[in-house]
Amino acid sequence: MTPLARLLAARIAATGPISLADYMADCLLHPEHGYYTGGQVFGAAGDFITAPEISQMFGELVGLALAQAWIDQGRPAPFCLAEPGPGRGTLMADLWRATARVPGFHAAARPLLIEASPALRQLQQQRLSGIGARWAESLAALPDQPLFLIANEFFDALPIRQFRRDGTAWREVMVGAGPNGGLALGLSAPAPLAALDARLADTPPGGVVELCPALPALVAEIAGRIAAHGGLALIVDYGDWRARGDTFQAVQAHRPCDPLAEPGRADLTAHVDFEAIARAATAAGARAGAMIPQGVWLGRLGIAERAARLDAGLSGAQQQTHRAAFRRLTDPAEMGSLFKVLALTPHDAPLPPGCDP
Ligand code: SAH
């Protein structure tokens, strides 16, 4: 049993079962035992690998897409260049390097990294010491300025609740006491839920719907700044249009595992509901573009040309790794289709690069 499992079991014994969202929040960001709190989680040696860790091309193309949108919107200065959930800081480092030759971009940029984990913040500060960035713990700290933002695999780490349909009511999936002092999943008593009325139409009896309670307010922080001051948010994550079914999952050492087995030691995520992001962004006055598969989007931004350039300078094992990375980012059988991109802009801004429907 992990230390966090003991704490959670004691809490559940004292006050009853907790929602998956409460469970996820503690597992990921508990001040002492949270998975991200410790820090050493990414990359080939960690538990999972993300697009910027797979290849420098990802951060480079994101940087050039943000810079092109910045030019298209009249080069506002100063502007906030923000990244929530920067992980090891790799994406921001690649983005910054790739935009060095865009006249005026660095001079106008005020980089802001939003990170809840102190250990990861430290890692990022070492990695990004030369770019004049600030750090904040929450998106509420976004300044009232034009905002150019990239969020890669940030929203999938936000805690979700799960509801199972029972007739015209819903039973919430809860974490409660299990055998041998451990934890087990259970269901709350059925109750009607106004927030899910619309989902009765497309959820069969016994079907599961996921809700991310923190999402609307976080999206509103981003979209509100963009609607008021201009800019672009690129949201990249795995998921789809509208949450369907159980997507809650745990990963340890690159393998799926039981999400209840070792709380605090596995990464927990759920698919992102892009419809919910678009709805929250629209309500905050911004325009949500079309949801585009990552492979298509990277293709439109010129990843094949960039990959060929890099390929020409490589040989042997490095070249094989580079080719595998290109496939991994773009191939529909790998990350190309599962991952999606959604752009948020002001209503009167040109469509950002690669984002035509
Ligand atoms: N974008 C990075 C890492 C993704 S992992 C990459 O692509 O490699 C998720 C990141 O979000 C981690 O840095 C984690 O500590 C951070 N995070 C998770 N929940 C957060 C929250 N509520 N507020 C701020 N950061 C959070």
Each residue's pLDDT tens digit, 279-300 = 999 999 999 999 999 999 999 9
Reported confidence tier of residue 244, pLDDT bands at 50, 70, 90: confident
- Ligand 1 centre to CA of 158 (Å) is 9
* List of residues 6+ apart from 220 with CB closer than 8 A: 280, 281, 283, 284
Compute, in angstroms, the gap from residue 201 CA to the centroid of ligand 1: 34
Q: What is the reported pLDDT for 47?
A: 73
Overall average pLDDT of the 99-114 stretch? 98
Cβ(237) – ligand 1 distance below 6 Å: no
Most informative mutation of 115, 120, 137 for ligand 1 (most atoms within 8 A of CB): 115
Is the C-beta atom of 62 inside 6 A of ligand 1?
Answer: no
**Separation of CA 95 from chain center:** 17
pLDDT given for residue 218 in this prediction: 98
State the Cα–Cα distance between residues 269 and 277, nearest whole angstrom.
16
Nearest to 116 by CA among 78, 79, 81, 159: 159
Contact 106, 100 (CB under 8 A): yes
Summarize the confidence of residues 38-65 as an average pLDDT: 86
With a cut of 70, say whether residue 40 has pLDDT above it: no
Stretch 129-134: mean pLDDT = 96
Q: Left (φ > 0), alpha (ψ -120 to 50) or beta: where does 145 sit?
A: beta
Does residue 36 line the site of ligand 1, with CB under 6 A? yes
The residue whose CA has the least distance to atom 23 of ligand 1 is: 116
**If pLDDT is split at 50, 70 and 90, which confidence band does 57 have?**
very high
SS3 268: strand
8 Å CB contact between 91 and 150: yes
153 lines ligand 1 (CB under 6 A): yes
| Nearest atom, ligand 1, residue 41 CA | 5
Counted residue by residue, the chain has a size of: 357
For residue 87 and ligand 1, the question of a CB distance below 6 A is answered with: yes
Residue type for position 198: A
Task: Categorize the per-residue pLDDT at 43 as very low, low, confident or very high, splitting at 50, 70 and 90.
Answer: low
Kindly give the number of the ligand 1 atom that is closest to the alpha carbon of 153.
4
Name the closest-CA residue to atom 16, ligand 1. Answer: 85
For the chain, helix (H) and strand (E) counts, in that order, are 14, 17
Radius of gyration of the chain (CA): 21
Would the CA dihedral through 56, 297, 243, 277 be positive or negative?
A: positive
> 157: Cβ below 6 Å to ligand 1?
yes
Instruction: Evaluate: CB of 117 within 6 angstroms of ligand 1.
Output: yes
pTM: 0.96
* d(CA 115, ligand 1 centre) in Å: 6
Ligand 1, atom nearest to 117 Cα: 15
